[in-house]
Every structure is written in C-alpha cells, then in structure tokens.
C-alpha cells in the first residue's frame, strides 16, 4: 500500500520545524496492505538523489570521513527527544549489483528497538535509496520482503552505473550532501511512526476542543 506523498511531506515538515533538523524530501512511501494506519511497521521510504554518481572509492571515502561523522552526529542529536542509542554499521558495497547497504538500529520512544536497512542503488546520473524500517523483534521475518524488493529493482538500459565512467565525476565534495541526507533520511524514517502517532493524537485533541 502506498503512503500518500502529501502525508509524508506534511509529517516531515512538522518534524523539521519541531526539531530544527533537515527536511527530507521522500519520493514515495510503502507499507503492507493490511496495515491499519500509515507508518505502521514495517514500511519503506524512498529517496532520490540527483547526482553524477562518483566512484566507489570516493563514496566510501566520504562515509569514512570525520566531517561526515560529525555532521551526522550533530543531526542525530536534534532527535534525542524521540530516539536514543542510534547506531550505524559500516557500509557494505555490493559491486556486482552496484548497491551500498547499511544497517542501523535505534531505541524509539514508546516503540522500543527499531532496526533499519538502507540500500543505495547507484545509477549513472542518480541514486535511488530505499529505507526499510521494522521493529527489531520482527525484522528477520520482514527481511525477506525487503530483499525481494531489492532484487526487483533495476535501472533502465543506459542509466546503469559504470565504475570507469563514474571516476570522471570524482571530486572532494560531490557525495558529501548525498551521504548525509541519506543517513538522516534512514534514521528519521525509522522513527517517523512515533511522530505520526504523536501528531495524530495532538490533532485529535485540538478537534475535540
């Protein structure tokens, strides 16, 4: 089931206004057909990064940089009211499928442990990112669904990633903003179920007055 983009945008604008964090522009969101409410775990949020994609070495270099880590930590601190103990594993680069994977985990208030999987599909002139989120206790059973979606993704002919061509795009800062937005998008995506519940309750109370 698709989550309306207007619902996603409204929610993340409210989150950005409340925390002072970045507004992440998600292209789409999806969840199971039998979900009772929007953002009921598990769900997927999609990001599109428009960029002349650099080489693997440039990408991994950015993820490993101190500047990147400091920037992400600073952003994560803005959401401390809603989640704690956010941990990110080192990225895994699948060169056969041109995908960068990263696992993350956090403690979300009133929810418990939430686990996520970030998958960046590298293309010639852009990166499509899927952010999968699930409560940790159900992550293993939901992972098969996530993997099916990952396996079904492909770029149209002519838009695929080419490592040799990508090296021509390398520059010190080309991937900087993409990396940070990607990580923040995955983290805020993981806690947005809580935010949806809180804002829904707040809206209901206002309507009852």
Which residues fall within 8 angstroms of residue 193, CB to CB, at 6 or more apart? 39, 40, 41, 43, 108, 111, 133
Per-residue pLDDT of the chain (209 residues; tens, 9 = 90+): 999 999 999 999 988 998 998 899 999 999 999 998 899 999 999 999 998 899 988 888 888 888 888 888 888 899 999 999 999 888 899 999 999 999 999 999 999 999 999 999 999 989 999 999 999 999 999 999 999 999 999 999 999 999 888 998 888 667 878 888 899 999 999 988 888 776 555 444 444 55
Q: Is 59 left (phi over 0), alpha (psi -120 to 50) or beta?
A: alpha
Q: What is the pLDDT of residues 89-145, one digit of tens each?
A: 888 999 999 999 999 999 999 999 999 999 999 999 899 999 999 999 999 999 999
Query: How many domains are contained in the chain?
Result: 1
Please report which helix (H) or strand (E) contains residue 175, including its range: none
3-state DSSP assignment of residue 102: strand
Q: Is residue 8 part of a domain?
A: yes
Full domain range(s) for residue 50: 2-199
Count Cβ atoms within 10 A of the Cβ of residue 36 and give its class: 0-12 exposed, 13-18 middle, 19 or more buried.
Answer: exposed
Q: Is residue 204 part of a domain?
A: no
Q: Is residue 209 part of a domain?
A: no
Supply 170's token pair: 């390398």
Which residues fall within 8 angstroms of residue 204, CB to CB, at 6 or more apart? none
């Amino acid at each position: 089931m698709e989550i309306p983009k207007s619902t996603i945008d409204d929610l993340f604008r409210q989150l950005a206004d409340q925390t002072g964090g970045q507004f992440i522009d998600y292209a789409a969101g999806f969840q199971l057909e039998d979900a009772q409410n929007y953002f009921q775990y598990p769900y997927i949020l999609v990001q599109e990064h428009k960029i002349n994609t650099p080489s693997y070495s440039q990408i991994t270099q950015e993820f490993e940089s101190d500047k990147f880590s400091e920037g992400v930590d600073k952003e994560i601190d803005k959401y401390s009211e809603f989640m704690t103990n956010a941990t990110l594993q080192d990225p895994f680069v699948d060169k056969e499928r041109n995908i960068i994977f990263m696992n993350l985990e956090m403690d979300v208030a009133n929810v418990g442990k939430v686990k996520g999987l970030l998958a960046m599909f590298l293309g010639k002139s852009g990166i499509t990112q899927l952010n999968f989120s699930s409560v940790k206790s159900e992550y293993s059973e939901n992972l098969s669904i996530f993997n099916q979606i990952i396996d079904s993704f492909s770029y149209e002919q002519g838009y695929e990633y080419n490592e040799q061509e990508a090296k021509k795009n390398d520059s010190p800062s080309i991937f900087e903003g993409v990396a940070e937005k990607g990580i923040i998008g995955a983290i805020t995506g993981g806690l947005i179920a809580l935010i949806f519940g809180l804002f829904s309750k707040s809206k209901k109370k206002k309507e009852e007055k």
